Amino acid sequence: MDGFKRSKRSNNQLPPLPPASVPPLSQPQKPTPLRQPGTALPEVVIDDIGVKPAPLVRRRKKWPFVIGSILFFIAVAAGAYLWYNAQLQPVNAADNTVQRVEIKDGSSFSYVVGRLEERGLIRSSAAFSIFVNLQGKQSALKAGTCNMTPSDSARTILDKMTNGCQDFKSITFYPGATLETSLYAKTKADQEKKDFKDMSIRASLKAAGYSDEAITKAFAAKYDSPLFAGKPADQGYEGYIFGETYFVDHGASVEDVLKVAFDHMYSIVRSEALAEKFKNKGLTLYQGITLASIVGRELDCEGKPTEERKQRCYGYQQQIAGVFYNRLEAGMTLGSDVTSIYAADKLGVKSTVDVDSPYNTRKYTGLTPGPIATPGQLALLAVANPADSEDLFFLAGDDGLIYFAKDGAGHEANIANHCKIGCGSL
């Protein structure tokens, strides 16, 4: 045997198990479906409790937001359009007050439009600029002087700015000009074979379309202005038609033009307190204008090309004015050649230093009976603020400079050293 003992079954063996109870066979049951055909299977959430259906998530509809956005943009666009059109309307349809607007060469549209808004002629510079761009007229601005009113629409104003205003005509009077043509200047131009440019007041008025008859009548008319304080009744308006460019209505008379020039000159007299300053120097307003006209003819500073040269010239004018004050105080003649030239022109004769006329300060002491030309603003200021010196003489040298001297000996030395070709000396 293999070492194992085969045990004998004892009498105490358990009885065999009874056969399991088996239910009777039946037809298999069809399982109950979890969902109906065509329906989605709901999601389930497994948690520590059990399985439950997840809530259904509804997709948000976007069409209300889209429609709202469209309506918002339509409202904004409509508001902008209404604002734009409102800004192009007249500032005040009932205000026909005329304002003169000067558009200079080289002015930009943005600059001019800004000025129009400041003066209350347009409602909005921004809206007007948009209007200009939409019309394609950004580069169509034309120089000119326009009549505009707050009752003008944007269309009317733009048309004036781009078509060139013909509301005014311009008239230019020159500093140092005389009422009538200078025979001396014309003769000198003929001698030097140069084109003669008549810069007289009459010539300027004729160039503006006025007749000789109308000009002569205006020169003889009576005008009321504080500018004429101290002017003798028998003296004309020489020296009072201030050198400047004026813009006047096409229908303006010569008298109207002269009144504008008188008003402009008086505004300078008032702003610079010239009457008071002349008085402090022992002169009336009329005498101050008279002396300034002589200083201005001796040396013209208004046409200098730069401000630096103009100021340097003004310094010379102040020194010349100082010389004249010193000579008046000393009882000497002014000795000004330009007065003898004017005297000859008034008499219609050839200019000489000994022409017999009270306007000839080479021959007679004191001031001339009246101005000999229209003084520029710098000449007026020079007489009001003369240099403080002891000089009694001056001359214009060949080099274009002015030389001053306290006595005759110094003056003769200046002639010898600086006036070899020819100079206008006292």
pLDDT at 9 over 80: no
Q: What share of the chain is helix, strand, coil (3-state, %, to 5)?
A: 40, 10, 50
Mean pLDDT of the chain: 85
Q: Is the pLDDT of residue 56 over 90?
A: no
Contact between 128 and 154 (Cβ < 8 Å): yes
User: What is the token pair recorded at 300?
Assistant: 């013209």
Look at residue 419 and tell me whether its pLDDT is greater than 70.
yes
Cα four-point dihedral sign 215, 220, 226, 231: positive
User: Taking a C-beta distance cutoff of 8 angstroms, is the pair 295, 362 a contact?
Assistant: no
> Does the pLDDT at position 390 exceed 70?
yes
Residue 223, φ and ψ in degrees, nearest 5: -125, 145
Minimal CA–CA distance to 113: which of 171, 73, 66, 160?
160
Closest CA to 171 of 136, 139, 212, 200: 200
List of residues 6+ apart from 292 with CB closer than 8 A: 371, 375, 379, 380, 382, 383
pLDDT at 6 over 50: no
Taking residues 77-101, what's their average pLDDT? 84
Nearest-angstrom CA–CA distance, 271 and 156: 36
Q: What is the pLDDT of residue 137?
A: 83
Structure token digits, residue 370: 């009246």
pLDDT, tens only, 190-221:
888 899 999 999 999 999 999 999 999 999 99
- pLDDT of 28 reads 53
Q: Which of 385, 412, 257, 233 is nearest to 321 (CA)?
A: 385
DSSP three-state, residue 99: strand
| pLDDT of 32 | 52
Contact 229, 285 (CB under 8 A): yes
Q: Which of 209, 223, 215, 220 is nearest to 181 (CA)?
A: 215
- The dotted CATH code for 73-166 is 3.30.1490.480
For the stretch 320-370, pLDDT in tens is 999 999 999 999 999 999 999 999 999 999 989 999 999 999 999 999 999
Res. 38 pLDDT band, cuts 50 70 90: low
pLDDT at residue 368, as a whole number? 98
Query: Is pLDDT of 382 > 70?
Result: yes
* Cβ contacts of 97 within 8 Å, gap of 6 or more: 149, 150
Distance CA(400)–CA(236), nearest Å, equals 34
Q: Is the pTM of this model over 0.75?
A: no
Please give the structure tokens belonging to residue 366. 């004191």
In the predicted structure, residue 44 carries a pLDDT above the cut 80: no
**pLDDT recorded at residue 247:** 86
Phi, psi of 246 (to 5 degrees): -115, 145
Instruction: Report H helices in 368-420.
Output: 377-384, 408-418
The amino acid at residue 118 is E
pLDDT at 11: 47
Residue 2 scores a pLDDT above 60: no
pLDDT of res. 42 = 53
Encoded tokens for 16:
């065999």
Return the DSSP state at 251: T
| pLDDT of 411 higher than 90 | yes
At 135, the pLDDT band (50, 70, 90 cuts) reads: confident
CATH 3.30.1490.480 range(s) for the chain read 73-166
- The yes-or-no verdict on residue 424 having pLDDT over 50 is no
Residue pLDDT, tens place only, 248-269: 888 899 999 999 999 999 999 9
> If you average pLDDT over residues 276-298, what whole number do you get?
97
DSSP E strands, 176-281: 245-249
- Which of 53, 130, 42 minimizes the C-alpha distance to 86? 130
State yes or no: pLDDT of 154 exceeds 60: yes
CB atoms within 10 A of CB 130: 14
- Mean pLDDT, residues 389-416 taken together: 93
CA distance 235 to 206: 23
Rounded to 5°, angle at Cα 288 from 282 and 289: 170
pLDDT at 280: 97
pLDDT at 344 (0 to 100): 96
Q: At 72, is the pLDDT very low, low, confident or very high (cuts 50, 70, 90)? A: confident
More confidently predicted of 19 and 12: 19
